[in-house]
Amino acid sequence: MSDAEEYREGRILRSTGSWYDVETSEGVVPSKVRGKFRLEDTRQTNPTVVGDRVTIRMVEDDTGLITAIHPRDNQLVRRAAGRRIGMEHVLAANIDHAWVVQSVRKPKINTGFVDRFLVMCEAFEIPAGLVINKIDLMRPADEAAVFEICDVYADIGYPVLPVSAETGENVDVLAEALQDSVSVFAGGSGVGKSTLLNAIEPGLQLRTGRVSDRTQKGKHTTTFASLLPLSQGGYVVDTPGVREYGLVAIEPYELGHYFPEFRPYLHECRFPTCTHDHEPGCAVVDALEQEIIDPVRYSSYVNMLHSVQAGEADVGR
Ligand code: GDP
Ligand code: ZN
């Protein structure tokens, strides 16, 4: 290397605590964060995250030093573990799509989970959609209820994709939706996230387990977040903790804005401070009574409102 300092632009693919794998046009460079950055934003436990676009300065042993983190389009944040008041843990940055995955059965669809995740995506301005997996397990008795749930979310404007990782049905459609973008998958354990991703990209799990060479072991754990490159182009964010997000710092009056189907009514309520709970003259409740707003969505809203009011929930930004 010449005496001139060499800088490269890249994207953080993986973090292993103190090292970050930065993908550049000339390959992946294991990099460290310049000590100073670690202290700059005291609200965040981890100022540098997967998905971040960074500038690195090459150092002599072909590793990098992260010298700049570029402004993020968006970020997925959850309350820091251990309930450290006001602390945020950023899970990933610059996300193009978030998919909440549920299964028809084993386990059955949890609309409360779906709605919390969608609210978080609205708050973080991450386009979201719903994947209903295991449609091969659908029994005639389940059909009406499952289709109704699909219709509710599709009517709101969220893409809804029924798939089967088992039979491969619609997996190609999902694969196409992931192409050339950074996608996040969320969903309770057992809904089939790993199986689906492996159906899209066989061998992905191997890569998931492969920790950077310097740690020696290729453990099949995902303690640290990573961006998994797809051979068709694009990345899937593989991060622990997406499931345990909380809603950070949402004010009760804001929550309604994160339910897109409530938006046309929010300014029609009698009281400008209406929380659409028990207030008289509430246009959201009128829409509910006219069956324009789905009762299950509305009850998710009320549940979230009560936890926000009790100071239990948080959605940071
Ligand atoms: P994850 O926890 O969301 O990653 O779920 P897994 O991918 O580990 O899947 C949980 C279980 O569901 C496994 O036994 C899978 O074989 C099974 N599974 C996943 N997708 C499907 C599907 O489309 N149909 C059926 N019948 N089983 C599935
Ligand atoms: Zn109202």
pLDDT (tens digit per residue) in 270-293 = 999 999 998 999 999 999 999 999
Instruction: Kindly give the distance from the C-alpha atom of residue 101 to the centroid of ligand 1, in angstroms, as a whole number.
Output: 11
Nearest CA to ligand 1 atom 16: 195
pLDDT above 80: residue 56: yes
Name the residue with the closest Cα to ligand 1, atom 20: 192
User: Quick one: pLDDT at residue 221?
Assistant: 41
Average pLDDT over residues 179-203: 90
pLDDT digits (tens, 9 = 90+) for 86-114: 667 788 899 999 999 999 999 999 999 99
Tell me the whole-structure pTM to 2 decimals.
0.86
Find out whether the beta carbon of 138 lies less than 6 Å from any atom of ligand 1: no
Distance CA 273, CA 262 (A): 15
Distance 189 CA to ligand 1 centre (A): 9
pLDDT of residue 43: 63
Among 35-39, 75-79, 187-191, 229-233, which is the least confidently predicted range? 35-39
Residue 266 has pLDDT above 80, yes or no: yes
- State the average pLDDT over residues 170-184: 96
pLDDT tier at 44, thresholds 50, 70, 90: low
Q: What is the pLDDT of residue 317?
A: 30
**CB of 122 shorter than 6 A to ligand 1:** no
134 lines ligand 1 (CB under 6 A): yes
Asked if 102 contacts 160 with a C-beta cutoff of 8 angstroms, the reply is no
- pLDDT reported for residue 188: 85
pLDDT at position 308 is: 86
As a three-state string, the secondary structure of the chain is CCCCCCEEEEEEEEECCCEEEEEECCEEEEEEECCCHHHHCCCECCCCCCCCEEEEEECCCCCEEEEEECCCCCEEEEECHHHCCCCEEEEEECCCEEEEEEECCCCCCCHHHHHHHHHHHHHHCCCEEEEEECHHHCCHHHHHHHHHHHHHHHHHCCCEEECCCCCCCCHHHHHHHHCCCEEEEECCCCCCHHHHHHHHCCCHHHHHHCCCHHHCCCCCCCCCCEEEECCCCCEEEECCCCCCCCCCCCCHHHHHHHCHHHHHHCCCCCCCCCCCCCCCCCHHHHHHHCCCCCHHHHHHHHHHHHHHHCCCCCCCC
| pLDDT-based confidence at residue 17 (cuts at 50, 70, 90) | confident
202: confidence class by pLDDT, cuts 50, 70, 90: confident
Residue, of 90 and 217, whose pLDDT is higher: 90
Widest Cα–Cα separation across the chain: 73
If you measure from the C-alpha of residue 265 to the centroid of ligand 2, how many angstroms do you get, rounded to a whole number?
8
The pLDDT assigned to 217 comes to 39
* Ligand 1 atom nearest to CA at 191: 3
Residues, CB within 5 angstroms of ligand 2 (ion): 269, 274, 276, 282, 284
Please provide the average confidence, as pLDDT, over all residues in the chain. 85
Q: Compute the distance from residue 192 Cα to the ligand 1 centre, in Å.
A: 4
Q: Is 14 in the pocket of ligand 1 (CB under 6 A)?
A: no
Decide if pLDDT at 39 tops 70: no
pLDDT band of 220, cuts 50, 70, 90: very low
In this predicted structure, what is the pLDDT of residue 205? Answer: 55
Output the pLDDT for position 154.
98
* pLDDT tens string 225-255: 789 889 999 999 877 665 555 555 678 889 9
Ligand 1 pocket, 136 CB below 6 A?
A: yes
**Ligand 1 binding pocket mutation candidate from 100, 195, 205, 221 (most atoms within 8 A of CB):** 195
